[in-house]
Amino acid sequence: MTISAPAADQALRHGAAFLIRPDAGVLCLTGADRADFLHRMTTNEINRLAVGQATVTVLTSPTARILQVFTVMARAEELWLLPAPGATRALAQQLRGQIFFMDQVKVADRSEEVRRLRVMGPKAAQALGEAGLAVADLADSAWQESTVTHEGTNLTVKVLTQMRYGVPGYELLIPVATFDVLQALLQGAGIVAIDADTYENRRIELGRPAPSHELTEEFNPLEAGIGWTCADNKGCYTGQEIIARQITYDKVTKSLVGLQSDRPLTVGTELQADGRTVGVVTSSGMSPQLAAPVALAIVRRPYHEAGTSLQGDTQIATVVALPFVE
């Protein structure tokens, strides 16, 4: 469990804030078959992406469990992939391992050249505009490249709007050489730097699943709360039959839920009901707005209903509807 710094939380909740992601890398797919390759490998509609569009997609196992969740940005001659923090090398290896000898696809790691950060908060668009990065008219899951000058340095910044994945906001990508100048530009526009703990507490409050917590090999995308990444009208990818069957016949057996308790819950705690294990705590934090512990869990149905009491190791937790707060 983590506690947010008050000033950082206020900026994230009421103003504009940014989080540096030092372990968030970038992969680049090139070659004539790049879109077809990724389309047949993952859950979402990659072939339909036009230049300037993006989507979140999932690489799943033969049993439809989550292997990787990442964002795909369509460029004219390449696809940029934004893996989860810390997952760049693993994703690159997994993709390269699926390239057949006839596939015209190459995977390159651009993480040494490009840095990522995320700008969030209700005034994020306004603040970015004041920094010279106009995003007010940029649709969700769209991206643009902008050039702005700060302290005599020209900055080329790619800005992606991302409202459904993670804490809603804008993912910024910039060459490593000008990353420090970008930070100064953002801070000059009143955008406050926050730490990972503040981000995590806000993510949990909003009920957003995350890699290494809910988005793991323990669960499939439907169970983990990202069913929207699974296109229901595309052909086979690894794990597709299981996901399609669960959607068609309403056979999803687990759900992402919120939990409230008197004391903080520990991630990994098994949840009991009717004498058996029915779920597990996947994220735990402290809500500054509620001034109370909050947690996320993935729980078997029908124990996912709001108001259900579940037994943890040493205390009772109550299932609540998500989000905890807006």
Alpha-carbon distance of 172 to 118, in angstroms, equals 6
How far apart CA 14 and CA 22 sit, in angstroms, is 25
Beta bridge partners of 74: 79
Band of residue 2 on the pLDDT scale cut at 50, 70, 90: very low
Dump pLDDT digits (tens) for 256-280: 999 999 999 999 999 999 999 999 9
Residue 188 token pair: 């000059």
In this predicted structure, the answer to whether residue 84 has a pLDDT above a threshold of 50 is yes
How would you label 218-239 residue by residue, b for 16+ Cβ within 10 Å and e otherwise?
A: ebbbbbbbbbebbbeebeebbb
Do residues 174 and 159 lie in contact, with contact meaning Cβ atoms separated by under 8 Å? no
CATH 2.40.30.110 in the chain, residue ranges:
204-320
Report which of residues 240 and 4 the model is more confident about.
Answer: 240
Mean pLDDT of 90-95: 98
What SS3 state is found at 297?
strand
**Residue range 286-297, pLDDT digits in tens:** 999 999 999 999
Residue 133 near residue 159 (C-beta atoms within 8 A): yes
In this model, does residue 223 exceed pLDDT 70? Answer: yes
Q: Which CATH class is domain 27-109?
A: alpha beta
Pairing of strands 292-300, 254-260: antiparallel
How distant, in Å, are the alpha carbons of 38, 88, 90, 126 from that of 94?
A: 12, 10, 6, 39
One-letter amino acid identity for 107? V
Q: Which two tokens stand for residue 314?
A: 């040493």
User: Residue 285 corresponds to which amino acid?
Assistant: G
Q: Are 9 and 201 in contact (CB under 8 A)?
A: yes
User: Where in the chain are all domains bearing CATH 3.30.1360.120?
Assistant: 6-22+113-203
Residues 6 or more apart whose Cβ sits within 8 Å of residue 302: none
Mean pLDDT of 157-181: 98
pLDDT of 1 over the 50 cut? no
Name the CATH superfamily, with its identifier, for domain 204-320. Aminomethyltransferase beta-barrel domains (2.40.30.110)
Residue range(s) occupied by CATH 3.30.70.1400 in the chain = 27-109
In this predicted structure, the answer to whether residue 235 has a pLDDT above a threshold of 80 is no
Query: Is the CATH number of domain 6-22+113-203 3.30.1360.120?
Result: yes
Question: What confidence score (pLDDT) does residue 188 get?
Answer: 97
Q: What's the whole-number mean pLDDT along residues 243-252? A: 93
> For position 4, what pLDDT does the model report?
60
Q: Which three-class secondary structure state does DSSP give residue 34?
A: helix
